[in-house]
Chain A
Amino acid sequence: MFRYLSAAAIAAATLLPGLAQAQEATDPNVTARHAMMQLYAYNLGVLGGMAQARIEYDPELATEAATAIYHVSMAHADRMWPEGTEAGATEDSRALPAIWENRAEFDAAAEALTAAAESAMGTVGTDLASLQAGVGGIGQSCSGCHRTFRQPE
């Protein structure tokens, strides 16, 4: 009997959080673009951490992280921003209507990241100063998009 009860408790514990998540399901496009941003941040944590001397400079790791950012930027993410997924229209999003009002500029901002990451990929492994310059370029492209197309918190 006790065994059945504990099995039920384990099943409940595993299933309930899943159910709770299902109830507040966000648009899959929003989930996907947030996941992509987290991948950027995860790798920028390596590059920025070295640039700001939070962690020790490691040329191989730096090149790996910049390469990862480049590849994530090549993931055809433009599909993740369909119409009707702006802030207010969908849960949890800070995407501004400007994205759809000026799609060409938005797409260009995304291409700027690809270009910055591609260039950083080849330079961040050289030395710390090159890494700092590379991170600066990527950071410029991040804020270049965020300042126009993302609602401040």
Chain B
Amino acid sequence: MIGRLAGGVAVLAVLAGGAFWMLTQPASLSDETLAALSAHDADAQAGEAVFWAAGCASCHSAPDLAPGAAPEARMVLTGGRSFPSDFGTFYAPNISPDPEHGIGDWTLPQFAHAVMQGVSPEGAHYYPAFPYTTYIHATPGDIADLWAFWQTLPADATPSRAHDVGFPFSFRRGLGLWKRFNLHDDYATPAFDDAELARGQYLVEALGHCAECHTPRDALGGLERGQWLAGAPNPAGEGRIPALPPEGWSAFDIAAYLETGFTPEFDTAGGEMADVIDNMSRIAAPDRAAIAAYLVALRSSPNP
């Protein structure tokens, strides 16, 4: 009897383990995406615009950079900045084109797989401190342009620092389960017919990853999409990250803020947002206007 019971438990354990293994399997890029990546005539200059819009430098540039450092210095993606969270402290890795310590020996499909699905070339899940849940919406063309721009960046040989994350979160395979609940193919807000609003939605929801800070998170760190851009506690310390768009701001105010860092009252951006302004001041003016138009449209049609 005991033997049969033990056998039953063992079978159940194997079945549960098998189910877990299948549910946590890293997803691949679709054939369609892979084809679009290779068909795209990549343009490094267009890739630079993607680089600033996607804010890569905010997390991956060196931690000891002086505030307001020159763009060239912010293009050295040494990694090393720390991101404390409820699950432990994450350290941004070196993603410069260094073949040993960075990602210099990657291929475009590997890069796209990492950025859009959060999966390493070795098939391991990345922690969602890396905002692939929003980059999943990026167009393959933008990713290919970005990779072309990457080839122009300087290599840096700083070794990446391991994350300081405790069990069970240190068990990366479990992230596959997390992705099932939090990696969505669709946008959080309804699509727009208007071209400018659609562009703004793309810049906010896909590249700009504004929601990573401005949307509250659930107990497991997933974004509460019903509270889209509704403001959230600051994970890095005291204070609260405001709802978007800020009350009383016009589209002009938002676009001017993203360009110059001045609020309509002529206060200036501080904290993490100052880095965001460093990025946003480098994208095209119509793109800033599109972001502003999308945010204002959100206010006129509030979240359910």
Contacts and interface: CB of A to CB of B under 8 A. Distances in A.
Contacts of B242: 153
A143 B240 contact: no
B270 A44 contact: no
Given A52-B256, A151-B239, A153-B239, A146 B262 contact: no
A148 B67 contact: yes
B109 to A, nearest CB: 37
B277 A143 contact: yes
B238 A146 contact: no
A150 B269 CA distance: 10
Contact of B241 (A51, A136, A143, A152): A152
Contact of B261 (A42, A88, A143, A151): A143
Interface string B123-154: 00000000000000000000000000000000
Nearest to B272: A152
Given A152-B234, A152-B273, A153-B242, A146 B260 contact: no
A41 B238 contact: no
A40 B268 CA distance: 11
B68 A144 contact: yes
Given A148-B67, A153-B239, A139 B262 contact: yes
Contacts of A94: 239
Which of B261, B262, B265, B274 has the most C-beta atoms of chain A within 10 angstroms of its own C-beta? B262
Given A151-B239, A153-B239, A153-B242, A146 B266 contact: no
Interface string B236-274: 011111100000000000001000111001111111111
Interface residues of B, number: 25
A108 to B, nearest CB: 10
Interface string A20-56: 0000000000000000010011101100100110000
Given A139-B268, A152-B239, A147 B262 contact: no
B275 interface: yes
A140 interface: yes
A91 to B, nearest CB: 15
A121 to B, nearest CB: 18
B241 A140 contact: no
Interface string A116-153: 00000000000000000001100110111011101111
Interface of B: 67-68, 234, 237-242, 256, 260-262, 265-275, 277
28 contacts: A41-B267, A42-B266, A48-B262, A48-B266, A51-B260, A52-B260, A87-B238, A88-B238, A139-B260, A139-B261, A143-B67, A143-B68, A143-B261, A143-B269, A144-B67, A144-B68, A146-B269, A146-B271, A147-B269, A148-B67, A150-B270, A150-B271, A151-B271, A152-B239, A152-B270, A153-B239, A153-B240, A153-B242
